[in-house]
Amino acid sequence: MAISLLDTFRVLSSFDPPRGSLRGAPWEQYVDWAIAQGLAPLASYNLEYRLPGSGAPEWARDRLLSIYSGSVNDNVMKLVNFKQCVDELEGRQLLLIGAASFADALYPHVGFRPVLEIQVLLRRMDVEGFTGYLAQHEFRPEPDEPLHGAQKVLSDTRTPIFLYADVLGSQRQAELRGVFERARPLKMYGPSLFRPDLEDALLLVCLEHAREGYQVPWLSFVDLRELVLGAPSMGGVYSRPLDVAALLERARAWRLERALYTSLSIVSRLFPETAALVAPALPPLRRATRELLDRLVVLPSSEPGKMSHARGSDRLRRLLTGQ
C-alpha cells in the first residue's frame, strides 16, 4: 500500500509511533528531505528501535543512522562545551532558547533534536559584557553580519553562539522584562542560566517562524507540537497544560496574534492530535485575515517535500510580527 510523504513524516516524527509497515513509503523522496529538515535523528531512532521490521530499505536506514550518530556526538560536544563556559558565571540572567533549551526539555533523548547553534536571549546591556566573558573561552565574533535577527554571533570554530536582545522590539520593553521575570532556573548550566516559561517559549518559537517568513526546518514544528501538548514524554518544566488565557494575552501584548495563529494552524494540520488543544489557543482574528494567512502561509507551509516553503515578503513579516 502506498504511504504518503506526510504520513511517513507523522509516523517517524512521533515519540510513540504506531506500529505498521512502511514498505510503501516514498523513501527516495523522504530521506533527503528529512535530513534537510532536521528530522533524521528521530526518524532513525524510530526505525531502529521502535519500528524494527517496518520495511524500510537498508540504504535509507543506513543514511539516517549515520546522521543520528553524528547528531548525538555533535549535541553532546556543543552542550558540554557551553556548560563549561558558563557554569561559573554569576550575577547575570541569560535565557537559553531554541534547540539547546528544547533538546533536553521536550525530547526523550538529547540526540533526537539537532543543536546547530546555541541561542541565548539576554538584556541589551549585557550583550557586550557576555561577549567579553566568552572571549576568555576563545569565542570570537563572526566576521559576517549576524544571522536570523541575532545581535551577535560568536564562535570558537566548534560551537556557534547566537546572542539575541530586544526580540520584541524597542516599544515593548515591559513585555520583554516579563519574559525574564517568569523564566525558570536552568541549574545544570550554572546560576546565571534560565529558560523561558512555557507560554513564552511557545511565543518565541512563533516569533522566530514569522521573522524567518516560515522558512524554517520542519523540526521546529515538532518543537511546537511538544510545547502545545505540554511535553507529555518528559517530566520537566514544560510538562504541563498550556495556560491559554495567558498565551492569548501575551500574544496580544507582543503583537504576535497573527504569528501565533499561523504557527498553531500549521501544527494542527501537520499533527491532528494537537487540534483539540490548538483550537482554543487560536487568536480571534478577523475572517479576512485568517483566510489571507491560510492561503499565503499555512497551506504552503504544510506541504511536505519542498526544500523551502512559501517565501514571505517583508510586508508579510511585518504583518506577522508587528515590527
Contacts of residue 50, defined as CB under 8 A and 6 or more positions apart, other chains included, come to 16, 17
Instruction: Give pLDDT, residue 319.
Output: 73
**Three-class DSSP category at 127:** helix
Q: Is residue 79 part of a domain?
A: no
**CA–CA separation, 317 and 322 (whole Å):** 8
- 257 lies in some domain: yes
In which domain, by residue range, is 251 found?
Answer: 88-321
In a domain, 187, yes or no: yes
In terms of DSSP bridges, do strands 184-185 and 160-164 run parallel, antiparallel, or are they unpaired?
A: unpaired
Q: Could you say which DSSP state residue 312 is in?
A: P
Taking Cα atoms as reference points, which of 255, 251, 253 lies closest to residue 264?
Answer: 251
Q: What is the pLDDT of residue 58?
A: 96
Pair (197, 108) in one structural domain? yes
37, 71, 105 - which closes a domain:
71
Co-location of 55 and 129 in the same domain: no
Q: What is the pLDDT of residues 232-253, one digit of tens each?
A: 999 999 999 999 999 999 999 9
323: confidence class by pLDDT, cuts 50, 70, 90: low
Task: Say if residue 188 is in the same domain as residue 239.
Answer: yes
Q: Is the pLDDT of residue 310 over 70?
A: no
Mean pLDDT of the chain: 93
Q: At CA 213, angle to CA 113 and CA 305, rounded to 5?
A: 60
Claim to verify: residue 147 and residue 282 sit in the same structural domain:
yes
221 and 147 fall within a common domain = yes
Q: Which residue has the higher pLDDT, 295 or 320?
A: 295
State how many domains the chain has.
2
| Same domain, residue pair 148 and 225 | yes
Model confidence, pTM: 0.94
Position 177 scores a pLDDT of 97
Mean pLDDT in residue range 28-41: 97
Q: What would you measure as the largest C-alpha separation in the chain, in angstroms? A: 60
Span 9-22, average pLDDT: 95
Averaged pLDDT, 174-201: 97
Residue 312 has pLDDT above 90, yes or no: no
Rounded mean pLDDT, 156-168:
94
Residues 194 and 311 in one domain: yes
- Indicate if the pLDDT at residue 147 is higher than 80: no
pLDDT of amino acid 149: 82
Q: Is the pLDDT of residue 111 over 70?
A: yes
In a domain, 83, yes or no: no
Confidence (pLDDT) at 139? 95
